Amino acid sequence: MAGRPAGFGAVLALLGGCALALRGGMLYPRESASRERRELDGLWKFRADFSENRRRGFEQQWYRTPLRESGPTLDMPVPSSFNDVGQDEQLRSFVGWVWYEREVTLPQRWTQDPGTRVVLRIGSAHYYAIVWVNGVHVTEHEGGHLPFEVDISKLVQTGPLSTCRITIAINNTLTPHTLPPGTILYKTDTSKYPRGYFVQNTNFDFFNYAGLHRPVLLYTTPTTYIDDITVITDVDQNTGLVSYQIDVQGSEDFQLEVCLLDEEGQVVARDVGSQGLLKVPDAHLWWPYLMHERPAYLYSLEARLTAQTAAGSVSDVYTLPVGIRTVAVTESQFLINGSPFYFHGVNKHEDADVRGKGFDWPLLVKDFNLLLWLGANAFRTSHYPYAEEVMQLCDQYGIVVIDESPGVGIVLIQSYNNESLQHHLEVMEELVCRDKNHPAVVMWSVANEPASFLKPAGDYFKTLIAHTKALDPTRPVTYVTASNYELDLGAPYVDVICVNSYYSWYHDPGHLEVIQLQVATELENWHRTYQKPVIQSEYGADTIAGFHHDPPLMYTEEYQKSLLEQYHLALDQKRKDYVVGELIWNFADFMTNQTPQRVMGNKKGIFTRQRQPKHAAFLLRDRYWKLANETRSQQWALRVQGLGKSPCTL
């Protein structure tokens, strides 16, 4: 029994009930005069439950005592995927429950000050997580790739405690109703397979890495605190408009002071109250990388709370980076700050040697340096939300983001029922709640290559997209399609058509001569049918670094280069009209499940998994810098004519 489908209710019954994750805002934990944070990264104790039903940990209540007392443990680095760290073949492909544990020493003021609120935040646990503190069940969360948190103040302030023990059980089983979906296939032929043998089947092309992938931390706030901030920006001629709403928890008797500071720390606007409008004369707009001489300008919105409680006056301070910019879509253009924007960038994965999908600062900075070198101005978070720190760097560097949910591989008819839809709606709420204030995020993608021709797909995506637009009416919504334009039942509801195609690779393999005609025909059909801008959201070819052949043959660097060139010729015919972007698949090679079609993973990267360039990287660099120079010339022409939205000139 691998996971949730057949035994999950019994597991929760063993726990004696189930608390929900903390509701409300998901502000990124930032230190301030009123807030502290403590990283819990490092080595945790770890054990996989290899029992046949995967439930021994619950039956023996491993969470009640230190994990070492119930059996042997491994050292497991956090953040990381558990799969590639060790030498155990069983662990690499393990499906079921794994257990993490960490003992933490707490500052005295955290445990003795009743005016201090202590929160445990988990950046990502793939896929289903249950959390205990000192043996007490505190929360659970369904879904990888997004953070969740829980107030543990009462548990750590109940007596003279100096430490707390955090236990997290994680199950990576995927079902038809998870995101992404999957199925468990039991192999019952005992002449071929051991008793109870099963495999996890998926319909996506990347490895199902699991574990604590992102930072785990504790942070504090006062008991009356700023819970959430929502910022919406606009531009009126040269004046920047910052509309804000602040939610406060813990008291109804409070005052709020809000000020907006520029990058030099000078106050440019002030207001009071939980909602208001800040006006910034001669505002510096947030522009994408290479679209302006001063891209990615960020103001700081500082909110100061003062509240009266029974214990006296309480204060809280939170500072939120703010980029002033607008986003709009016409039938043929994608506009940022009223100016046409052309996406020239990449698709990525959170994937690297040893660490799997584990967050890693050196790797992240290397990736951004490569993006800047390429002249890329955008990427899509294929096929799940990336770490919050990634979004922050996009804000700081001006890299535009299509923010995608984990809705990849939705191809089963049962994945379109009400249970799946409800979970998908909740995931989009979590994603929008987390990323709504990032200026770099310009569009939400609710899914990648769903089976949108199935009968229930139209209603499913109509509901899902409408819900996402209601959550955030300031950004367009898309999903990424690989369907025939005549059969796609969800396309009428999106704002931008994102199309994946692999001509001369999966279709007509080896025939480079057909690419231009087929790409042009497909793009024209999509635009003529739906009258919406189109992005070539994926295209590419597997390439093994160091393989060469002339004339070009598949898997060689020459073939990848030639295929991209043919796509570019087709895209150049349409990008002046209604094609508003091109995103290569993929930025770097990445790991997949083992299949005869994959040699140590997917090799469509323009960089190797170790971030070394193939020939295609240089081709793409030349193209992207050329496109950037054209865009800058267009922006200059618009501003000379008085049509631009920026008060600055190039």
The counts of H helices and E strands in the chain are 12, 32
The residue to which tokens 């990634």 are assigned: 390
**Which residue type, as a one-letter code, is found at position 403?**
D
Cα–Cα distances in Å, from 571 out to 176, 342, 624?
Answer: 36, 12, 13
CA–CA gap between residue 305 and residue 514 (Å, rounded) = 63
The residue to which tokens 């396309």 are assigned: 491
Of 350, 449, 522, 557, the active-site residue reads 449
Which residues contact residue 266 at a Cβ distance below 8 angstroms, ignoring those fewer than 6 apart? none
CA–CA gap between residue 60 and residue 104 (Å, rounded) = 23
The residue to which tokens 């544990």 are assigned: 101
What Rg, from alpha-carbon coordinates, does the chain have? Answer: 25
Catalytic residue status for 388: no
Closest listed residue to residue 167, CA positions, set 137, 126, 124, 211? 137
- Count of alpha carbons within 13 Å of 363, Cβ hemisphere only? 19
Helix (H) or strand (E) holding 610: none
| Phi/psi at 78 (5° precision) | -125, 125
263: left (phi over 0), alpha (psi -120 to 50) or beta: alpha
Give 515-579 as a DSSP string. Answer: HHHHHHHHHHHHHHHH---EEEEE----B-TT---SS--TBSHHHHHHHHHHHHHHHHHHTTTTE
Is the distance from CB of 377 to CB of 628 less than 8 angstroms?
Answer: yes
Is the distance from CB of 537 to CB of 580 less than 8 angstroms?
Answer: no
Is the distance from CB of 609 to CB of 366 less than 8 angstroms?
Answer: no
Q: Which residues are catalytic?
A: 449
